[in-house]
Structure 1
């Protein structure tokens, strides 16, 4: 081999090998430190582009799932309120039986009427308090000044912007009151107020924020309301009163069923959205995550190559020193 002081071919080869090893080692160290084999478009343009698109879809699904979670909370809150209201209506049903059994006793009618009115107030309080983040599905007040900001619920169901709306439960209740046996036995008239008891026809002109001071069953003179519940072809006064409260129970049961259906649908969509989000996350991982066992083995190999390359360069550099011995 020719000895030259100007060109050290062995050192050049050793330097090239060391540079290549250093580059590979740096890349492998980056993989080990981040756990990803694709950190930028420079690593793998196609995989990086796909992973970014999938990550965007995953973020969008997270937003959709958050909306579904809120919708579920609103529906569950309303369902709980409806259950409580049904219990109160059954209490009123019992009180009406007491009322009609004591229709000749003014004091008994007065006491029973007070109990009915208090229970109606409890119904309206529960309905008004079934508000979550300003959304209330049971009253008819778009804004009541005490927390209610809307009476409908709109939520996203897909990344494409599809939405579902739950609204009009107050009008649905009024509609349910005019169907069934009551329609043929009693002339139902919804109250003009925004309260739930007005929708049920148990009060008149009562706002959702107001407290009831009277009920439809008893007059101010502590006697049965035979004007509204006049005996005739529709039945006796007592029969009509019972028919009204039974229809109110039926109407709220219908609303409970509707809420249950919505809850099931929301739960199903939320479960699917979570599964889809998990699948997308796994897809991103398959494209970008590193095999850490392989990366560890490669790191050890490159560290060994680096040491050997440095040793080789040291030997190559020492060869030029041997030229001096030729001139001694």
Structure 2
């Protein structure tokens, strides 16, 4: 039955055209945007995952920038440390040259002064973005200032996020100069050399006694080496007490038995030969040996130390006598102590430079990893939400053809009502 009121064929054709137009609109949107899932209505689960991962990727991009900034800080510190190592090496060479007899030490010291100024300049200039990793305010040998570089952005299985850092401690083993206001400094280059004073001799050794000219005191462990009254012997140690007395700054006076082996002395007379009287023979240049502080077991812990009054940045080879008077050593030995200490601090600088180099390598590895991770996340998100352009292109062509056919079909359905009109014509 044909009706001019209800055109069922046209209604069917119209519904088909509407469906085709809807599919065509979706396909055109995918082709133009490149996304299969562009909004939450497209696929809520995939859209949620993709949005979260895009957010994390943005955070990783910030991490990559932070790593670049951190790498610049490390590279600046390392370059300065490497230059400082070269300067200290040159200072050591100058000190070795100063051991030659007849060398004008004042001229060599002028060169050392310039090198020491250069060390200060290097340390002060090693700053990037307001941070200097070669100097810090310490104030004690145990103080530490932690520096950090952003290393990664992490989301755990529970969905909790955190930022991980690469840490580096500025302490007495890594900074060149201590910028604290105290007189005692703890940087590698401004920390004064201190000689350990051990409150010990050998096991069961009773340190000594003195003798006046021509007199020898007898004990079970020591004899007088000469009759001058200025030498002391205990278990093979020979000491000239005129030049080997030292004050530790705490009210104690120490007698040097050998390098880094000391015995505490006292200005209170002691009775060494146990006759009840402190004899004149028991006096060492006005000092007396305190046997209670020397007859300790070998290997006892260090009691205190003597500051020799020089650091790498302040040593002065024209003032070796001052060093000798503090450490109870000769001027020649004082120069040797300087060489020894500079070499020790040079090793510490080398170790600090190695630490900086290790962190630099780690940052480079982390940069490479973050870059690869970012690409992987982008790829994973793309698999979830990106449109397959080949497929969408095929769909688009098919839907355009279907649209044309649907329009043609609707046109035919609408024209059928016009055909009824001919029935009423003569």
Q: TM-score, normalised by structure 2?
A: 0.62
Relative to 1, partners in 2 of residues 1:287 and 1:200: Cα closer, same or farther, differing over 3 Å? Answer: farther
For 1:216, the equivalent position in structure 2 comes to: 315
Relative to 1, partners in 2 of residues 1:37 and 1:174: Cα closer, same or farther, differing over 3 Å? Answer: closer
Q: Which has the larger displacement, 270-279 or 241-250?
A: 270-279
Relative to 1, partners in 2 of residues 1:45 and 1:234: Cα closer, same or farther, differing over 3 Å? Answer: farther
**Is the CA contact (8 Å cut-off) linking 2:84 and 2:122 kept in structure 1?**
yes
For 1:61, the equivalent position in structure 2 comes to: 60
For 1:284, the equivalent position in structure 2 comes to: 381
**Is the CA contact (8 Å cut-off) linking 1:153 and 1:166 kept in structure 2?**
yes
CA distance in 2, matches of 1:275, 1:261: 21
CA distance in 2, matches of 1:231, 1:95: 24
Q: CA deviation at 1:46?
A: 1.0
Q: CA deviation at 1:77?
A: 1.5
**Structure 1 segment 123-138 matched on structure 2, within 5 A:** 123-138=119-134
Q: Give the paired residue count.
A: 291
Q: Which has the larger displacement, 114-123 or 295-304?
A: 114-123
Q: Which has the larger displacement, 71-80 or 6-15?
A: 71-80
Partner of 1:162: helix, strand, or coil?
Answer: strand
**Is the CA contact (8 Å cut-off) linking 2:17 and 2:406 kept in structure 1?**
yes
**Is the CA contact (8 Å cut-off) linking 1:35 and 1:292 kept in structure 2?**
yes
Partner of 1:197: helix, strand, or coil?
Answer: coil
CA distance in 2, matches of 1:72, 1:327: 92
For 1:228, the equivalent position in structure 2 comes to: 323
For 1:172, the equivalent position in structure 2 comes to: 173
For 1:185, the equivalent position in structure 2 comes to: none
CA distance in 1, matches of 2:348, 2:132: 18
**Structure 1 segment 246-325 matched on structure 2, within 5 A:** 246-325=343-422
Partner of 1:270: helix, strand, or coil?
Answer: helix
Partner of 1:161: helix, strand, or coil?
Answer: strand
Q: CA deviation at 1:174?
A: 7.6
Partner of 1:215: helix, strand, or coil?
Answer: coil
Which of 95, 106, 112 is equivalent to 2:108?
Answer: 112
CA distance in 1, matches of 2:125, 2:87: 15
**Is the CA contact (8 Å cut-off) linking 1:123 and 1:196 kept in structure 2?**
no
Give CA-to-partner distance per residue, 1:153-204, whole Å, 9 cap, x none: 22333422333321224x11489xxxxxxxxxxxxxx963587631476xx8
For 1:147, the equivalent position in structure 2 comes to: none
CA distance in 1, matches of 2:16, 2:395: 16
Which of 121, 126, 150 is equivalent to 2:117?
Answer: 121
The question of 1:18 aligning with 2:17 is answered yes
Q: TM-score, normalised by structure 1?
A: 0.79
Q: Which has the larger displacement, 256-265 or 7-16?
A: 256-265
Q: CA deviation at 1:269?
A: 2.9
For 2:8, the equivalent position in structure 1 comes to: 9
Bigger share in helix:
1
Quick check: which has more Rg, 1 or 2? 2
**Structure 1 segment 182-197 matched on structure 2, within 5 A:** 192=184, 197=189
Q: Where does the alignment leave 5 or more consecutive residues of structure 2 unmatched?
A: 139-144, 155-161, 177-181, 194-308
Relative to 1, partners in 2 of residues 1:123 and 1:161: Cα closer, same or farther, differing over 3 Å? Answer: same
Q: Highest relative contact order (Cα 8 Å, sep 6+), 1 or 2?
A: 1
CA distance in 1, matches of 2:137, 2:74: 18
Give CA-to-partner distance per residue, 1:181-232, whole Å, 9 cap, x none: xxxxxxxxx963587631476xx899xxxxx9x83224xxxx3432225563
CA distance in 1, matches of 2:31, 2:46: 19
Q: Where does the alignment leave 5 or more consecutive residues of structure 1 unmatched?
A: 143-150, 176-189, 207-211
Which of 220, 224, 240 is equivalent to 2:337?
Answer: 240
For 1:99, the equivalent position in structure 2 comes to: 98
Partner of 1:153: helix, strand, or coil?
Answer: strand
CA distance in 1, matches of 2:331, 2:113: 25
**Is the CA contact (8 Å cut-off) linking 1:136 and 1:152 kept in structure 2?**
no
**Is the CA contact (8 Å cut-off) linking 1:4 and 1:320 kept in structure 2?**
yes
